[in-house]
């Protein structure tokens, strides 16, 4: 399953004090993200977990971060983004429109 996710929509480039590594943030919340997306979409847990891990990996490669004062907002953005990708998979058989 080729997947090239772009987490810049939800995370930011690390450049200021008070920012934490986006990949660490995603790893910390991975289980709850996967659990909720799986529950609400009905898509297989293994597929959702793979997607979230892919987002986490890309965030690390791109050195993305979260503003620690806005963690709840970042979490909502990541879950919304990942859920949209999962719903694309559910309806189109792939994560993206391409």
d(CA 32, CA 92): 25
∠ CA 57-89-65, nearest 5°, is 25
Q: What is the pTM of this model?
A: 0.80
Q: What is the Rg, in whole angstroms, of the alpha carbon atoms belonging to the chain? A: 13
Residues 6-28 have pLDDT tens digits of 555 556 555 567 788 889 999 99
Which residue ranges make up each domain of the chain? 11-92
**pLDDT, position 6:** 53
Tokens of 64: 């993305």
């Amino acid at each position: 399953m080729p997947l090239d996710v772009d987490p810049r929509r939800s995370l930011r480039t690390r450049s200021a004090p008070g920012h934490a590594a986006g990949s660490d943030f995603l790893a910390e919340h991975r289980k709850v993200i996967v659990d909720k997306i799986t529950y609400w979409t009905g898509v297989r847990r293994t597929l959702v977990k793979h997607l979230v891990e892919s987002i986490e990996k890309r965030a690390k490669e791109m050195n993305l971060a979260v503003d620690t004062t806005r963690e709840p907002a970042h979490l909502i953005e990541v879950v919304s983004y990942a859920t949209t990708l999962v719903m694309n998979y559910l309806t189109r058989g792939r994560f993206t429109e391409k």
